């Protein structure tokens, strides 16, 4: 069973559009990433990740200075790829001047300009500002929630223009870094990176998922006393789930679906694909299926990262 995920206007950190300059710019030096979004959604953390990836990172650059930063006066190309943080705290912030600057950069040959928009649920933003005792830039003379809503309205045109809309509501720092590295890593193009994650439906679908498969119809080890305390990584659980008469056809159908899709995703310029496998508790069936799927992908020469969301959350 499979579900499609939301459209790009709903948040999903793998909705990166292919750029016509992708082929020439993936090596690095012509790439410019504009990092914007809601205050508190992770812009500072994102810029630190970009620095770790080898980018020159500049925060709160006045929009009017962007062209001169990208194209120095001597006319030489940038020495390194560039990540620029721009948000409502930027001195001359405005959607229209930003749009004009982006249009001008997009017309320049040799540049791969992308916009990364960081989003987050309002209640999580409120908690972050409250816990850190930071003041929201638009909540100086109004309640915090009102400031967040006002900012969301102001920056919504940038979200619609973004190449990548990345929701940080439930993302751990390590996962945040992995996904950014998958999209924006500098160096030779190594092809599509596939991120496989298991999860529990009772805790909600992973927002970053591109494809979601439902394993809840398979025999459940939770109701077998000896298997209940184990996970899908254990041999006993693996053998139990694999013995379900429905499993071989399910797994074959899933891989038959993915086999032709993966090269098409890669050809369209997609650098990172997230596949989520869910079951009720996220410890047995989904973990086993995710392990099997990751092994199948590796056998095909695909770069794979594997994560078990509920096992990590439970400290297993």
315 has binding-site annotation: no
42 has binding-site annotation: yes
Q: Which of 132, 166, 156 is nearest to 50 (CA)?
A: 166
Q: List the chain pLDDT tens, one digit each, 316 residues.
A: 444 333 333 333 333 333 333 333 344 558 899 999 999 999 999 999 999 888 999 998 888 888 878 776 555 656 688 999 988 887 778 788 888 888 888 777 778 888 999 999 999 999 998 888 888 888 888 898 999 999 999 899 889 888 888 888 877 787 788 788 877 876 545 678 899 999 999 998 887 789 999 999 999 999 999 999 999 999 999 999 999 999 999 999 999 999 999 999 887 767 778 999 999 999 999 999 999 999 999 999 998 989 999 998 653 3
75 has binding-site annotation: no
281 has binding-site annotation: no
37 has binding-site annotation: yes
- By the 10 Å C-beta count (0-12 exposed, 13-18 middle, 19+ buried), 194 is classed as buried
44 has binding-site annotation: yes
87 has binding-site annotation: yes
282 has binding-site annotation: no
Give pLDDT, residue 291: 98
Rounded to whole angstroms, the Cα distance separating 105 from 292 reads: 44
19 has binding-site annotation: no
18 has binding-site annotation: no
253 has binding-site annotation: no
7 has binding-site annotation: no
Give pLDDT, residue 23: 31
Rounded to whole angstroms, the Cα distance separating 42 from 48 reads: 10
Rounded to whole angstroms, the Cα distance separating 201 from 185 reads: 31
Residues 97 and 64 sit within 8 Å (Cβ to Cβ): yes
Which homologous superfamily is 2-184 in?
P-loop containing nucleotide triphosphate hydrolases (3.40.50.300)
Cα–chain center distance at 216: 25
Q: Domain residues of the chain, as ranges?
A: 2-184, 193-313
């Amino acid at each position: 069973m499979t579900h499609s995920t939301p459209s790009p206007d709903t948040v999903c950190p793998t909705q990166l559009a292919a750029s016509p300059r992708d082929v020439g710019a993936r090596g690095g030096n012509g790439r410019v990433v504009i990092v914007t979004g809601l205050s508190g959604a992770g812009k500072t953390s994102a810029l630190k990740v970009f620095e770790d990836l080898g980018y020159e990172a500049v925060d709160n650059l006045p929009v009017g200075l962007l062209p001169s930063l990208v194209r120095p006066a001597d006319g030489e190309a940038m020495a390194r790829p560039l990540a620029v943080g721009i948000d409502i705290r930027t001195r001359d912030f405005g959607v229209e001047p930003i749009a004009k600057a982006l249009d001008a950069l997009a017309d320049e040959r040799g540049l791969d300009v992308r916009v990364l928009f960081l989003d987050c649920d309002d209640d999580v933003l409120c908690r972050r500002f409250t816990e850190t005792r930071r003041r929201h830039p638009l909540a100086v003379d109004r309640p915090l929630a009102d400031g967040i809503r006002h900012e969301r309205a102001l920056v919504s045109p940038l979200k619609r223009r973004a190449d990548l809309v990345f929701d940080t509501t439930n993302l751990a720092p390590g996962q945040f870094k992995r996904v950014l590295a998958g999209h924006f890593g500098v160096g030779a193009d190594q092809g599509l990176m596939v991120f496989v994650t298991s999860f529990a439906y009772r805790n909600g679908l992973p927002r970053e998922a591109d494809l979601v498969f439902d394993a809840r119809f398979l025999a459940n080890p939770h109701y077998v006393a000896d298997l209940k305390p184990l996970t899908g990584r254990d041999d006993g659980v693996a053998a139990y789930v694999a013995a379900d008469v429905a499993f071989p056809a399910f797994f074959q159908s899933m891989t038959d679906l993915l086999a032709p899709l993966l090269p098409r995703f890669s050809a369209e310029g997609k650098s990172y694909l997230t596949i989520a496998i869910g079951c009720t508790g996220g410890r047995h069936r989904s973990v086993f299926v995710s392990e099997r799927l990751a092994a199948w992908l590796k056998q095909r020469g695909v770069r794979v990262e594997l994560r078990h969301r509920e096992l990590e959350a439970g400290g297993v």
